[in-house]
Structure 1
Amino acid sequence: MHVFRFLPRLILTLSLAACASLPPRNLAPPADIRSNILRLADQEWQAFGRQTVYRAPDRHEIIDPVGVWEDDRKGSALVAKYWRGIGEDWTGVDGDKPWSAAFISWVMAQAGVPPEEMPASATHASYLRAAIGADDSHWRPHPPADYAPQPGDLICATRAGQKVARYDDVPLGATLHCDIVVHVGAGFLESIGGNVRNSVSKSERKLGADGRLGTNADRPWFLVLENRYP
């Protein structure tokens, strides 16, 4: 009767079935997923040489240590692993192919997040739309000024001049970047993302007194995607 309400999930299911090159996804118990995400993000950051990006008091960006880069032999092989996770055969040498969404997709798949919540995707917009729109989703969107991010959440920003009017209505094809929050301290957080300064990097950024990103100026953050797994 209400067939149209099932169409988005049907289309997603058919799309995933059509991608025969996608590796099988092993689901994990919900109680394990948050810790899996944090473990895998740290594992890949370690593999890339622990590259860390932060800002000095004068707002000058510092990278210390400098890690493995995407077009190094080791880095290229790691990036190829993320691309295989979304059914592509590119590597880190393909410098015109942004791979930050492939990195997030790989982490989520390996962590055991169901594909209807976090489908494998080369774009952040596609998996965000699925996570926000999925029935009984374990992910809840918030504007950065209204919610204090926690480890396991995603923080997402626009790039390349992209405009997004609403935090909970991500345009299909929007040009974005997301990091995984891995630590929250007094007045700062640390997050890990792919294709950040040519590597999987950990970035440190300030938080307001309320623990929120708010108008943090290092990127145009528009969304914190709360991870509601236990």
Structure 2
Amino acid sequence: MRTWRLVPLLLLASASTWAGDACPLLRTQTASPDPATRIAAIACREHAAWFRPFIDRNGRLASMTTMEAESSPLSDGQESAWQRVARYWRDSGLLGGMGHRSGASDCQYGALAGPSATACRAFVVDTPWSAAFISWVMRQAALPGFRGSSRHYSYVRDAYLQPATHAYDVLDIAKAKLAVGDLLCYVRHANRVYAHEGLLAAARGHDILDMHCDIVVAVNPDNDSIAYLIGGNVQQGVTMRMLPLNRNGEFWGLPLRVGDGSLCAPDNEAACSFNRQDWAALLKLKPADELAKLPGALPPTPEIVPAEEQKCCVHCVVGAGVPRCPKPETP
């Protein structure tokens, strides 16, 4: 069983009896031979850099120190928040496919200053980056059989349609038992609840769904009965989410969005929870021996852009396939 207790034996004695966030122990294990531990460790390290914001088990945002647009350094002192997000895009290999978005090409270089910094920062703020974060973590972890994408839906669909060559299997959350390295995903649609069967139907068709996925970094059913997950661009940072479990490591009372039109409001507190989502799939990480048989880390998937969203580019990225904007006529 892959749980956070798979860290090296040196840490086992203290970790096995420790209730709470496992990240302070895990984040030093980025070079672990176990793929699941590497994934969790990298996510935990980034969470610490963002000052450990979290959503508690009741769905309340309990802590937030810095956000994506800020120029103050993260806790590791390496760069500011917006520069770190630019690095997620750049080092995930996804930036080259984002040339249709203004400012993307200005993020290509690490030393950002002047007009390039302004344009790149605008790109960071204006462009959802949660899938770029997941893709960056998987590339840093050198996970075989995973193809990153700027849309969560792309790798969820690939896992469903090509299970033999993918690092993950797609499971119904109602029947799923969580483990470290898994991805928990929901569909983001304001007017419809998809749930698991709706997601699979979309994957078999030609729909393009907006989704979000978090990485499972710890599963602790024995002590505090909580699963700990980390996602990017959650309330504009790298944020931990806590979800309740039963003693079998399965979800217990997972808040689900329902299609009754109930909205969060001061007079409807029961609907107010950042954990209440259209949870649609658990991507179950395959065992290490099966992962070892898959092809190495795969090149990213080009962004799926609906035709109505296609734009021209001013600072074009070679190979992006986006037409250059015509020069404005001079009077």
TM range (shorter): 0.7 to 0.9
Give the equivalent residue in structure 1 for 2:127: 97
Distance 1:210 1:32 in 2: 23
Is the contact made by 1:154 and 1:226 (CA closer than 8 Å) also made in structure 2? yes
**In structure 2, which of residues 223, 227, 233 is the aligned counterpart of residue 189 of structure 1?**
227
Is the contact made by 1:118 and 1:127 (CA closer than 8 Å) also made in structure 2? yes
The alpha-carbon distance between structure 1 residues 83 and 146, as it changes in their structure 2 partners (threshold 3 A), is same
- Tell me the SS of whatever aligns to 1:135: helix
Structure having the higher Rg: 2
Amino acid at match of 1:119: R
Amino acid at match of 1:141: V
**In structure 2, which of residues 154, 169, 187 is the aligned counterpart of residue 126 of structure 1?**
154
User: What TM-score, normalized by structure 2, do the two folds share?
Assistant: 0.54
- Tell me the SS of whatever aligns to 2:184: strand
Indicate the structure with greater strand content.
1
Give the equivalent residue in structure 2 for 1:180: 215
Is the contact made by 1:150 and 1:183 (CA closer than 8 Å) also made in structure 2? yes
Task: Give 1:42-121 correspondences, 5 Å limit.
Answer: 42-56=44-58, 61-64=60-63, 66-73=64-71, 74-84=80-90, 85=92, 86-87=94-95, 88=98, 89=104, 91=120, 93-94=122-123, 95-114=125-144, 117-121=145-149
Give the equivalent residue in structure 1 for 2:298: none
Q: Deviation string for 1:131-170 (max 9, x for gaps)?
A: 3314343311110110111111000011133535345555
Distance 1:181 1:72 in 2: 27
Shift of 1:62: 3.4
Give the equivalent residue in structure 1 for 2:40: 38
Could you tell me which runs of 5 or more consecutive residues in structure 1 were left unpaired when the two chains were aligned.
Answer: 1-28
Give the equivalent residue in structure 2 for 1:222: 280
The alpha-carbon distance between structure 1 residues 203 and 190, as it changes in their structure 2 partners (threshold 3 A), is same
Amino acid at match of 1:72: E
The alpha-carbon distance between structure 1 residues 224 and 38, as it changes in their structure 2 partners (threshold 3 A), is same
User: What TM-score, normalized by structure 1, do the two folds share?
Assistant: 0.76
Is the contact made by 1:45 and 1:202 (CA closer than 8 Å) also made in structure 2? yes
- Tell me the SS of whatever aligns to 1:39: helix
Shift of 1:120: 2.3
The root-mean-square deviation of aligned C-alpha atoms, in Å, is 2.5
The alpha-carbon distance between structure 1 residues 152 and 185, as it changes in their structure 2 partners (threshold 3 A), is same
Amino acid at match of 2:173: P
Is the contact made by 2:67 and 2:237 (CA closer than 8 Å) also made in structure 1? yes
Distance 1:34 1:144 in 2: 19
Shift of 1:196: 0.4
Distance 2:188 2:170 in 1: 19
Task: Give 1:196-207 correspondences, 5 Å limit.
Answer: 196-207=234-245
* Percent identity between the two aligned chains: 29
Q: Deviation string for 1:150-203 (max 9, x for gaps)?
A: 111000011133535345555352111100001112222110000001100011
Q: How many residues align?
A: 196
Distance 1:81 1:32 in 2: 25
Could you tell me which runs of 5 or more consecutive residues in structure 2 were left unpaired when the two chains were aligned.
Answer: 1-30, 72-79, 99-103, 108-119, 256-275, 289-331
